[in-house]
Amino acid sequence: MIARPGGIASAKGDASLDEYVCITVLSAPGEGRAEFSARLSRFWTHMLRNHKSEFEKVYAEKAAFEPKADRLTRQYLALDEVTPRLEAEFASAGVEHETVDRDDTYSKYEAVAPEWMQIEH
């Protein structure tokens, strides 16, 4: 295994596994943990109610927020095919995100507890 940014370890090789991209969302500058968490909850509730099939392609959520300058971040692993929908919905909801590196993929076995939580569908 190779250590990777965001606490993910890489064990490439099994082509039969789904591969996920890492999506990092950002709080507004100075936004508190509770406010950011509530905003993300509203966003994911919207996705579940209005875009269930795309929501089901989001596999895992990082267990903790991480600081980045005057912001917080949260990471998600999702199938790349859902990235355009998520980017459009993030923009509509005012949720900023970092550029998704679609060449940097992960298997579900790289998103393990306690660092990651599998999203129940």
Confirm whether 8 is domain-assigned. Answer: no
What is the per-residue DSSP string for 55-73? HTTEEEEESS-EEETTEEE
Whole-number pLDDT of residue 11: 46
C-alpha 35/C-alpha 33 separation (Å) is 6
The pLDDT score that the predictor gives to residue 26 is: 98
Query: Per the domain annotation, does 10 fall within a domain?
Result: no
Cα 22 from chain centroid? 6
Global pTM reads 0.85
Contact 76, 60 (CB under 8 A): yes
Kindly state whether residue 99 falls inside one of the protein's structural domains: yes
Q: Which pair of tokens denotes residue 66?
A: 């991480």
Ordered DSSP codes for 32-55: -HHHHHHHHHHHHHHHHHH-HHHH
Domain that holds residue 70: 19-104
CATH of the domain at 72: 3.30.70
pLDDT digits (tens, 9 = 90+) for 85-101: 999 999 999 999 999 99
How many domains in the chain? Answer: 1
In this prediction, the residues of the chain whose per-residue pLDDT falls under 50 are 1-3, 9-15
